[in-house]
């Protein structure tokens, strides 16, 4: 059993904000597997389990708001009796440019409060994660304003391509080929394409 978690905030006002990039990625995965209506479970929206590539998968969008994501994830992990290494968390990252993705097997939260909450709740750094680049603001103003800002329409166009690349890597992760998954996704960038758009 593996759990894939997309981080974000509930409410239509957050739908296309940078901080909801994890939810946007998860939406693409759910669509690929023809999963529609979720169950309200573990303080969020929950799908599955569904069988894919010989592995039982479940999907979670915590509704605890970003900074308390760990409460939701911990409930799902405990109920399904899975190890933290079998949880893949997808979230936005200001340290990566728009159009870039990064997968890692473990590590710190890197300042991302949702991941920080999950690390604290599961009491380990060994949680796989997929980071979606949202870039830094041009001026070092209020970071909260930046991450909660709406993704410009011209940037939204690359999300389908990012989702294709992410799903290819996620399928390798599902099959246990983590190193190949990281090799495949960490070198991909749609940054230049976006800048030339």
For the entire predicted model, the pTM comes to 0.94
Which residues are known catalytic residues?
Answer: 19
The yes-or-no verdict on residue 196 having pLDDT over 60 is: no
The yes-or-no verdict on residue 188 having pLDDT over 90 is: no
Predicted confidence band at 193 (pLDDT cuts at 50, 70, 90)? low
- Using only the alpha carbons of the chain, give its radius of gyration: 16
Q: Between 191 and 172, name the one with better pLDDT.
A: 172
CA torsion, points 155, 156, 161, 165, in degrees to nearest 10?
A: 90
Digit-coded pLDDT (tens) for 106-139: 999 999 999 999 999 999 999 999 999 999 988 7
DSSP 87-140: EEEEEEETTS-TTBEEEESS---TT-HHHHHHHHHHT-S---EEEEE----SS-
Digit-coded pLDDT (tens) for 6-50: 999 999 999 999 999 999 999 999 999 999 899 999 999 999 999
106 vs 110: CA distance, rounded Å: 11
Only one residue has tokens 């968390």, namely 89
Task: Give, as one character, the DSSP assignment of residue 68.
Answer: G
């Amino acid at each position: 059993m593996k759990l894939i978690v997309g981080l974000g905030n509930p409410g239509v006002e957050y739908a296309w904000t940078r901080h909801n990039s994890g939810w946007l990625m998860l939406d693409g995965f759910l669509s690929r597997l023809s999963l529609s209506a979720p169950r309200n479970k573990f303080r969020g929206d929950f799908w599955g389990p569904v069988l894919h590539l010989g592995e039982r998968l479940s999907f979670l969008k915590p509704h605890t708001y970003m900074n308390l994501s760990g409460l939701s994830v911990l409930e799902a992990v405990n109920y399904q009796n899975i190890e933290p290494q079998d949880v893949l968390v997808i979230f936005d990252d200001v340290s990566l440019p728009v159009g870039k993705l990064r997968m890692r097997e473990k590590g710190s939260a890197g300042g991302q409060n949702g991941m920080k909450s999950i690390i604290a709740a599961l009491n380990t750094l060994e949680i796989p994660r997929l980071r979606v680049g949202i870039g830094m603001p041009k001026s070092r103003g209020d970071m909260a304003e930046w991450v909660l800002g709406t993704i410009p329409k011209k940037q939204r166009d690359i999300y389908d391509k990012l989702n294709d690349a992410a799903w290819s890597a996620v399928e390798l992760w599902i099959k246990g080929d983590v190193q190949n998954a990281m090799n495949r996704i960490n070198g991909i960038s749609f940054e230049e394409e976006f800048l030339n758009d």
